Amino acid sequence: MAKAFAVRALLEEFSAPSVAFSLERGQDEAVGKSKLGGIPDLPQDFRWQTRDGEATDFLLQINLAQASALDQTGSLPKSGLLSFFYDLKEQPWGFDPKQLHGFLVHYTPDGVTLGSTPMPRPEFALDECQVNFRAGWPWTSHASACMS
């Protein structure tokens, strides 16, 4: 039992609070809400990044106003939308410099008009799940209803 306390103390010493999230099956029709999968909410002038002529696929969007409210370190921007894209067909690891175009993180500032933007490769669309944020620590684990 003493070892468990020692390990926890060590983890706490070298860790920082985080914003964690869990997933819940279902859709939220509100534009700009945090979600995994579904159809992304993007600015009208957004251009899909391509890799070998193929567009990257939408993974996740995080509404920073939702997430930053739980950011105990003040590291996150207070507003805007982070959108994550990845080549789900080829699934590059990114270790090889030739694979660096297989992913994209896009920041949209608050105040930019967003709209549901169909994906170029709808066959790679992930089922939409709602994202629920909570303050956490890097080593905590909570089951996600979306993954069961």
Residue 45 included in any domain: yes
Q: Report which of 73, 70, 66, 67 is spatially closest to residue 16, judged by C-alpha positions.
A: 73
Range of the domain at 79: 30-136
Residue 107 included in any domain: yes
User: pLDDT at residue 82 above 60?
Assistant: yes
Least confident of 67-71, 115-119, 133-137: 133-137
Report the pLDDT averaged over residues 104-110.
Answer: 94
Report the pLDDT averaged over residues 40-52.
Answer: 89
Q: What is the pLDDT of residue 8?
A: 73
- Model confidence pLDDT, tens digit, residues 119-141: 999 999 999 999 988 887 665 55
Residue 21 included in any domain: no
Report the pLDDT averaged over residues 4-32.
Answer: 79
This prediction's pTM:
0.79
Residue 81 included in any domain: yes
**Alpha carbon distances (Å) from 27 to 34, 117, 122:** 10, 16, 17
**Alpha carbon distances (Å) from 3 to 7, 12, 42, 89, 140:** 6, 14, 49, 44, 18
Q: What is the pLDDT of residue 5?
A: 67
Give residue for tokens 């997933």.
23
Residue 86 included in any domain: yes
Q: Token digits for 24? A: 């819940």
Residue 17 included in any domain: no
Residue 2 included in any domain: no
Residue 9 included in any domain: no
Please compute, for residue 73, the number of CA atoms within 13 A of its CA located in the half-sphere on the CB side: 9
Q: What is the pLDDT of residue 141?
A: 52
Q: How many domains does the chain have?
A: 1
107: domain CATH number?
2.30.320.10
Q: What is the pLDDT of residue 1?
A: 57
Q: What is the pLDDT of residue 95?
A: 79
User: What is the end-to-end Cα distance of the chain in Å, rounded?
Assistant: 32
User: pLDDT at residue 142 above 70?
Assistant: no
